[in-house]
Structure 1
Amino acid sequence: MVMARYKALFLALMAGLAGPVSAAPMSPRAALAAIAKCAPAAPCAAHLPVRVVVVTLFEIGKDEGDRPGEFQLWKERAKLTQRIPFPQGYHDLYYNPDTQVLGIVTGMGNIKSATAALALGLDQRLDLSKAYWLVAGIAGIDPAAGSAGSAAWARYLVDGDMAHEIDAREIPAGWKYGYFPIHGSTKVEGDPLAGPAPVAANGEMFALNAGLAQWAYGLTKDLNLPDDASIAAQRELYKDFPAAQMPPHVMMGDQLAAMTYWHGEKMTQWGRDWVKYWTNGKGTFVTSAMEETGIIQSLEYLTKVGRADRNRVMVLRAGSNFTMPPPGMGAAENMARENAGYSGMTAALEALYAAGSKVVGEITTHWPRYEKSAPSAP
């Protein structure tokens, strides 16, 4: 009898970890009232239905009414009015019960973003089993690939932190960089980034659902993104880069995440080579940021226990600045200039909301279609 009771408790616990307990569906507003009685991160009989999680990384000041960071436009325009306490993370959650969209601010950097995503996925107040995840943040953009204010949907996420490093003044002759893969070539002769990656990526690269990314691009590629005088002036400086001189637009482009704020022509070339290496030539470096590989790693773990679906993850990054200086300007000089304020910040935030909300709106408006399976480009 005692063993039977322990077995029942064990099975109930595992069911809670694996996903929400099956029950009669509750309206979002009723679920909000019910989960308010549950402590964060504690067992909860009620589960708030979520169709889309909008993942932002930082906010500058207040969540509304002042200079916006990544979260503010979503909170105001997507009407994320219902606050949900989230002390196990960086910032409280906000929810729209009509659209069932949930917004999170993870905090900057891979460590904060990974732990916040994992904490969110394990929160038993939420039903995230069928949710789509949209990471929407600003980024540096390669002027050889795109322009400030442009937004890029990624197929590949590449990690720029897992590596060996030798000071560039001590690297062997023939090496382009002193920063090279941990599991790459062990030969001193030849460039360690030449040729395909010798081993399968284990945290160094994540392939997203390419069909979903292409679908999102197809839905947004014809949007007219906002332009302004500040980024128009920046474009004029990059005369040797046709892609940098284009007005803001939606594009496809892969993302490199690293915790170091790097900058410069040589580092940008390293970014291009690093992405090519880890994607075996399939990916193209377009945007540089910090958080994606931590987020997707957590979502892969959550997928294994039914708390998320990594096949429903989308990454949208918009260029707030370029990853290298314009011709005739040094890297240190340009970095100092950028640290005073990114010229493309406003345009990038508007681009993220314009393209991101188009996709979120399509999913939430036609939920019976997208609940069953993730869309894919024809």
Structure 2
Amino acid sequence: MQICAKTLWATSAIMVGLAGGASADPVKVKVFIGAMFEIGENSGDRAGEYQHWYERYWQDAVPREIPGAIAPVHCNDDGVCGSVLGMGKVNAAASMQAILLNPDYDFSNAYYLITGVAGTPPSRGTIGDVVWANWLIDYDLGHRWAPEEGEPGEPVFIPRKGYEEYRVHELNPDLVAWGVELSSDVALTDSDEAQTYRMRYPDAAAQAAPSVKVGTHMTGDTFFHGPGLSAEAQYIAKLYGADDYLVTEMEDNAIAQVINRLYGTDRIAAIRGSVNFDQGNPNETTLQHLDPAPGETAGGFAETVQNIALVGAPLVDRIVTGWEAWKDGVPAH
């Protein structure tokens, strides 16, 4: 008797679910919030990317270990779930896929909020900004060469064929618009240290107070720095027909690709808070910027991770409280 591979796979998946104690009534997820790292505990110490979300939604939640995920999942009674997914594209994508495929959770109507810290070019942003993504772009899927091996002054990147469906995701403009509107009146926090650090840069955007912005998130495992690679990121954004590159991060496009394979991208939102500039000021080299002297680092990390939750929470709360209007799709905006 022949048994097709698909039948074997489905049978194995059921057995794994039963062995892992899958619940008869999976949690119906309304919003899933993904952060990339936490510094220490989920509450009560120095906050990383997850702590403010945890303290807002999951103080009383029981953590659920998920095979294949880097950290437990927390859910509240309102259907808001979240987890730390891990840093870098492989870590974050592997965790997201493990969570999405776990039979204890029903993601059939879920929304996703990808969150974390980022860098920003001083010509377009500042420390403490929070940026809603309208485009997610992979920085790495292409060909690169040393500048001296190409034409002087020309870009050193061309896309690699075959990755057209993976390297760019345009997010649902209606969902982006909801996020921007609901966070438009949020008062962002700031610090004296961040204000002082900004003045090292002559750009008006760099010296400005933190604000909520919209633009392209550039995903790359390479933690790139310097005006040359910043310009290359902007070149890639334009090459792919996206809006201005506003933040550099390491996970968003990869997470979106995992979600897209199962549920599409219409319900994905992404926000990033800027905790550093992607290049040094005119009085320091790129290497000096990467390895600053003691006391010379940018301030504002604590304030930025707080800002991220302040900006993202109104959308989460609107979706949950207005679930009847949201469960079948993003309401027209």
TM-score if structure 1 supplies the norm length?
0.80
Moved more, 122-131 or 337-346: 337-346
SS in 1 for 2:266: helix
* SS class of match (2:299): coil
Task: Give me the whole-angstrom Cα distance separating, in 2, the residues matched to 1:338 and 1:212.
Answer: 42
In 2 relative to 1, CA 142–292 (structure 1 residues): closer, same or farther, beyond 3 Å?
same
Where does residue 289 of structure 1 map in the other structure? 249
What is the 5 A alignment of 1:36-47?
Answer: 39-40=19-20, 44-47=23-26
1:117/1:295 contact within 8 Å kept:
yes
* Residue aligning to 2:95: 116
Determine whether 1:223 maps to 2:202: no
Structure 1 residues 115-264: aligned runs within 5 Å: 115-173=94-152, 175-183=153-161, 201-239=164-202, 241-264=203-226
CA gap 1:261/1:200 in 2 versus in 1, 3 angstroms: closer
Percentage of pairs with the same residue: 26
Contact preservation (8 Å) 2:319, 2:326:
yes
> C-alpha distance in 2, partners of 1:364/1:39?
32
CA distance in 1, matches of 2:228, 2:294: 19
Q: CA deviation at 1:256?
A: 0.2
Deviations for 1:122-172, whole angstroms, at most 9, x for unmatched residues? 111101111110001100012111111010111110101111121222223
Matched residue pairs, number? 327
Distance in 1 between residues matched to 2:330 and 2:18, nearest whole Å = 31
Contact 2:190/2:300 (8 A) holds in 1: no
2:102 pairs with 1:102: no
CA distance in 2, matches of 1:342, 1:61: 21
Moved >6 Å (runs of 4+):
none
Whether contact under 8 Å (1:214, 1:376) holds in the other structure is: no
* Residues 82, 95 of structure 1: 8 Å contact kept: yes
From 262, 267, 277, the counterpart of 1:302: 262
Number of the residue aligned with 2:311: 355
Separation (CA, whole Å) in 1 of partners of 2:23 and 2:316: 27
- 2:324 — aligned with what? 368
Deviation at 1:344, TM superposition (A): 2.7
Deviations 1:243-298 (A, max 9, x none): 112111111111000001110111111111111111x2x41100000001110111
- The equivalent residue for 2:62 is 82
Shift of 1:237: 1.2
**Counterpart in the other structure of 1:323:** 278
How far is 1:376 from its partner?
4.0
Larger Rg belongs to: 1
| Alpha-carbon shift at residue 87 of structure 1 (Å) | 3.2
In structure 2, the CA distance between the partners of 1:200 and 1:48, relative to structure 1 (3 Å rule), is closer
Displacement of 1:39: 4.8
Which is worse superposed, 101-110 or 202-211? 202-211
Per the alignment, residue 195 of structure 1 pairs with none
